[in-house]
Every structure is written in C-alpha cells, then in structure tokens.
Amino acid sequence: MCEMMDDLVTASKATGTSHKSYHLEADLMNGWAFRLLEVFGTATDLSFDVDCPGRRHLLQHNVPVDFIPVIAETYRQERQFARTHLFEKPLKDDMGDVGLDVTRLNIERARSEIFRAKADVLLNTQSLYPSTEKPEPEPIARELIPCDEPLSLQPVLEPAAVHAAARQEALPATSEPRTVETKIIEDGEIVADESPANLPVADFLEKFDILLRNKRKEWRPETASDVGVVVRMFIDILVENGVEHSGQIRQAHLAALRDYFSLVPTNYGQSSRLRSLSVPELRALGQKMLEEADDDSGARVGLGAQTIRKHLGNLQTFRDFLAARGHSIVSFEMKGLRPSKKRASELASLTPKPGPDKTELMFQMPVFSGCVSEVEMALSGSETIHNSLYFLPMMLVYLGTRRAEAAGLTVDDVVKTASGWAIDIKSNEIRSLKTPQSARMLPAPPEMLRLGFLDYVEKVRSLGYRPLFPELCNPFDRKNADPGDRFYKNFNPLFVANAAKGGPHWLRVLHALRHGHADTLKQNGVSPELIEDIHGRDGASQTTIRYTNPAGLPLLKDLLSRYPVVTGHLEPKPIRLLSFVDAKEPAPWYEDPVGKRGMRGKRA
C-alpha cells in the first residue's frame, strides 16, 4: 500500500494536481471503507441506514456525513470483490509461499490484515500532499502499521512523443502543409442546433447526452455505459494535449488513446480507487507496473484486444454523431490501431462448453440441494429457498436461454398451451430482447415442473408481483437496471465458493452454459439450424431465414428432451420464498440512489 501511494502521489505531482483537496478526500473515503471491512468482515452486508452499526462506527470517529454515501458504495464494491476467486486465488498463493496453512480461518485473518493495511495507509496520507483547504483529519483509532522503508518518490517519464506531436498539431495553423485533411470552418460558424461548428471539448459530454437520448431505444444500458467510458477517456486525452475544440482534433490524438489502452491496469474496472484516477495518473501507474514486471507479458496492464476493438468502435460512433450534426472533426483512420478481429474458431475456443457431467455437479451446490439459510446459501443445510438462484440456472441448462431473457421474465410469461406449459420469451416492461429472432416460445423443462416451478409462479403472482424473480428487479431504477447482471452478482460468488471446495469450475459461468447446451444438443443429433431456433438466433442460411418458420413447440419439446436429466437427485420441496420477497420488501442489495455522489468526478 505504501508503494501504491508512492505511485499515486508521484502521478498527481506529474500532472500538477497534488495540491487538489479531492485526492485527500478520496484517500479518506477509501480508507474508511477498508476500515469497515476490517472491523465487520466481508460476511456482513452493511446497509448504512440510521440503525446500521457501520454508519454508527463512522460517526463515532467524526467522519463527515457527506462522505458516507461514497464510503458505502466503495465498501460494497470492495466487499463483493474480496469474496471472489480473483481475490482469493493470489491470496492463497501468497499464503502458500510463506508456509501458512491455507484454511478458511487463516484466509479470513489474511483478508482482515489486507484491509487493515489499506485502511492504515489511506487514512494517514495527509503528509504526502501539499497544504490543502481541508482541515487535518481526525486521527484514526489505531496505530499506523509501519512500512519497511519510507516512501521513495520516483520521477515520472515524460509523455510519449505522440502526445507532443499532437500538441504541436493543436497549435494555430502555420505555413507547413497539413497531413490530415479537415473541413475549413469560418470563425463563429454555427450548426443547426446553434452550437459552434468547432465544438468546445468542454461540451462533448452534453452532446453525448443527446446521442444517448437518441439511441435510448437501440442501445442496451451496458452499451450506453461502454460508449460513455471511452468518450470520457478521449476527452481526458484531448485536455491533456491542449485541445480546445473539435477542429483541433488530429489522428495523433486517436493514436494516443490507443497507446493509453495498453497501459491501463487490468484490474482497473474492479478498483474504485483506480477508477477515480485521471488518464495521466493511470498511465503513469501502468508505466511503472510495466517497468517493474519481469517481462512485458507478466505485467498486469493493458486492455484485451476485443475490448479495445469495442472502445474504438464506440468512439467512432460518437465521432460520426458529431460530424453528422455539422461539427468540424477529422475522419478517424482505424486501420493500424484497431486489433484484428478473431476468427469464429478462435472466439469459440475462448468460451468453455460444460456438458451434462459438469452441470450435474453444479446442481449439487447447497443452493439447490439444501443450504443453512437464505443468508448462508453457500453452506450445506436442510433449507431449500425457491428464487432465481434455484430456478434460473435450470432454464439456462435445459433451455440454453440468455441470462437476461430468463432473469427478465414476468409471471404472465409462463403460459399453458395445447402442447403443455411453456415459457414465452418476448419483450416486456422489465427488459427488451437482443434481436427480433430472440422472441420465441420454449417448453417448460419437465424437471422444473417436477420441482415445483408452477407452484412458485403462482405464489409469486399471488403476492402481486409482475416479475417472475422480484429480487432481481431494482424498484429504485426500473429503467436502467439489468436483472441479468444482478443474477450474475448473486450467483457467481456461490459458484466460486463451491469451486474452492472442490466443485466444478469454468470461466464465464453463465454464458458458458448456453454454449454447453448447444454443444450437448449437437452431440445428440440436433441440427445447427434447429439449435439456432432454440437459442433465438438468425438462421444459418437464406433458406432458413426467408423460406421457413421457426420450429414449433412440439418439435422443440422433442429436441430439448435430448438434453440429459442433471437434476434427478433433487427432491421437490414445499415452496419457500426469500423472506423479503414474501414480505414484499426491496432486496437488501438495492437502495435509493438519491444523495449518492461519485468518487471524485473532478478533473484539474
């Protein structure tokens, strides 16, 4: 943690922001989040309401009330990450290297020590920054853990040559010939919406909001978020290079963004601290990590090729939007910057295809076979709780549905037909569908019916719910919440915990089930065209697309019966809902976002 603070302070000095008070504020808010994790552990999900012991702990130590929403959000993110395989695996490796027994108690002790170290350092960073407007923070209620050596500040490398070139191109025109063709704009020229043709960089986010509004019926929430991320990154690159308006943008600035992608720490998206850093600060940190690694391949920096392709494509969309509105902006040349697209065979090899042998082992997890309680679903017991964690994986395994399709079902989407009970996958008030071909009728799996699925549906309906899985729907944000993402966040920690005890494990756990379903049907003689109908994708040929209708319910029922039974060991139990669902209360992982604010949200 001392070394990390060395990197961050050095980066802030290199960018001239070390005197800004928001650095110290971010340290304090992150520090108190880790202190709560040290004090209460990761098994406690603090609510931060009036009666919450975590909130009382903060107020007892004179933490400003306006810090608490940010501390709460950081606490939840770090708590969730600390309970994943990505956190525990390197921790176990380190414990093994020093000869410490890798037991659950020792893992918990080690986890607490990590939180303590992070809190101790982050809550004692006042001396690392020049004098700020903020008063000296209250002393923390424990002694600072000593570091082996004092902080040693290292010089930061000068910006890459491409940035200097970009800055040179951003200067007023000279007699030298231009290498990039741009539209000549008259001074003061405006476009149809009365904004300048040379759009100020400071107005880019305002235009992005318009693009977002125009695309609201086309873009999924995650798509909108992805585009927003790269637009903000590009704005940082432009500001860093002195670009004031769209007419000064050059191809070199796009190259600078691409170079930056190769220096972003790989755990950027998992760390609230890293997400609060500016582009120059993250670049300096990534450069230092690269230099300290034994070799380039061992450094944990750089976005994946497919992520870079996605970011550059999204930025092109934003560029085209500005150009279409009449703003002056150079055409981007992507060739040479965008990584090559992987072949279909290569993409297929990236996703595991768990077959019935592995899915049967998955259904031996306590959440299916019996757990201690609804708050201890990872431990074996006698209780069977009927919710999305119980039924939704069965839909993924037996039907091959997308997680969002299953998570966004309503009680009215379970229908009785002449061919038996079925699940009607269609757009509804909870979620849309990925493509028009995604709308389809699938037979309800016989195993789900045997295990009480219809009784579950009727009980949920009787309570007045519309969603089939109420715990996945955010009552405070019905428009943007993704029930599929919420299910993943609930299920993945249980899957990882079970794998740590010797259970099955594979990457991309939910998406892999869809691939495994297709592979199992293919191995059992189902044609690719019919698998496309089952999975709700375009047909493989013009004949299947234009001249035939999707397979009917009776045929699909016969085809799906070829997937082996993998839940035969489970016994039907009386329907028991989650207590908060039964009480018609919001799920504990949702709270009213009013009053929250971002980690920093500021730029020098």
**Looking at residues 303-321, what average pLDDT do you find?**
90
Q: How far apart are CA 26 and CA 540, in angstroms?
A: 52
Task: For residue range 504-519, list pLDDT tens digits in order.
Answer: 999 889 989 999 999 9
Q: What is the pLDDT of residue 433?
A: 82
What mean pLDDT is reported for the chain?
81
Give, in order, the Cα–Cα distances in Å from 245 to each of 240, 249, 267, 327, 483: 13, 7, 32, 10, 40
Q: How far apart are CA 380 and CA 372, in angstroms?
A: 6
Q: Is the pLDDT of residue 126 over 90?
A: no
Q: Is the pLDDT of residue 357 over 50?
A: yes
- Helices 21-40 & 104-122 angle (0-180, nearest 10): 150
Q: How far apart are CA 539 and CA 555, in angstroms?
A: 17
271 band by pLDDT with thresholds 50, 70 and 90: low
- Helices 204-214 & 305-324 angle (0-180, nearest 10): 90
Q: What is the pLDDT of residue 143?
A: 40
Q: What is the pLDDT of residue 297?
A: 54
350 band by pLDDT with thresholds 50, 70 and 90: low
Give, in order, the Cα–Cα distances in Å from 405 to each of 226, 410, 468, 553: 21, 10, 11, 18
Q: What is the pLDDT of residue 579?
A: 96
* Strands 440-443 vs 420-425: parallel, antiparallel or unpaired: antiparallel
Q: Is the pLDDT of residue 66 over 60?
A: yes
Beta bridge partners of 200: 245
Residue closest to 406 by CA, chosen among 505, 507, 479, 514: 514
Task: For residue range 85-95, list pLDDT tens digits in order.
Answer: 778 888 888 88
Residue closest to 265 by CA, chosen among 253, 277, 256: 277
Q: What is the pLDDT of residue 165?
A: 37
Q: What secondary structure, in 3-state letters, does 468-510 show?
A: CCHHHCCCCCCCCCCHHHHHHHHHHHHHHHHHHCCCCCCCCHH
**Looking at residues 434-452, what average pLDDT do you find?**
91
DSSP 124: T
Question: Which of 254-268, 425-439, 448-462 tops mean pLDDT?
Answer: 448-462
Q: What is the pLDDT of residue 335?
A: 84
Q: Which helix (DSSP H) or strand (DSSP E) does residue 572 occupy?
A: none
Q: What is the pLDDT of residue 576?
A: 97
**Looking at residues 149-154, what average pLDDT do you find?**
36
Tell me which of 527 and 450 has the higher pLDDT: 450
**Looking at residues 440-444, what average pLDDT do you find?**
94
**Structural tokens at position 313:** 């494509």
Q: What is the pLDDT of residue 512?
A: 92
Q: Is the pLDDT of residue 472 over 50?
A: yes
- Cβ atoms of 251 and 242 within 8 Å: the answer is no
Q: What secondary structure, in 3-state letters, does 48-114 show?
A: CCCCCHHHHHHHHCCCCHHHHHHHHHHHHHHHHHHCCHHHHHHHHHHHHHCCCCCCHHHHHHHHHHH
Q: What is the pLDDT of residue 136?
A: 44
Q: Is the pLDDT of residue 26 over 90?
A: no
C-alpha neighbours within 13 Å on the C-beta side of residue 364: 14
Task: For residue range 201-249, list pLDDT tens digits in order.
Answer: 999 999 999 999 998 878 877 788 889 989 998 999 999 889 999 999 9
Q: Is the pLDDT of residue 492 over 90?
A: yes
**Looking at residues 119-138, what average pLDDT do you find?**
66
**Looking at residues 58-79, what average pLDDT do you find?**
88
Residue closest to 582 by CA, chosen among 429, 464, 409: 464
Q: What is the pLDDT of residue 166?
A: 38
Q: Is the pLDDT of residue 133 over 60?
A: no
Q: How far apart are CA 569 and CA 364, in angstroms?
A: 8
Q: Is the pLDDT of residue 168 over 60?
A: no
Residue closest to 271 by CA, chosen among 603, 11, 599, 604: 599
Q: Is the pLDDT of residue 156 over 60?
A: no
Q: Is the pLDDT of residue 155 over 50?
A: no
Percentages of the chain per state (helix, strand, coil), in multiples of 5? 50, 5, 45
Tell me which of 262 and 291 has the higher pLDDT: 262
**Structural tokens at position 470:** 């109420």
Amino acid at 557: K
Q: How far apart are CA 580 and CA 475, in angstroms?
A: 13
Q: What is the pLDDT of residue 209?
A: 92
Tell me which of 46 and 26 has the higher pLDDT: 46
Q: Is the pLDDT of residue 420 over 80?
A: yes
**Looking at residues 286-308, what average pLDDT do you find?**
74
**Looking at residues 356-382, what average pLDDT do you find?**
96
Tell me which of 21 and 491 has the higher pLDDT: 491
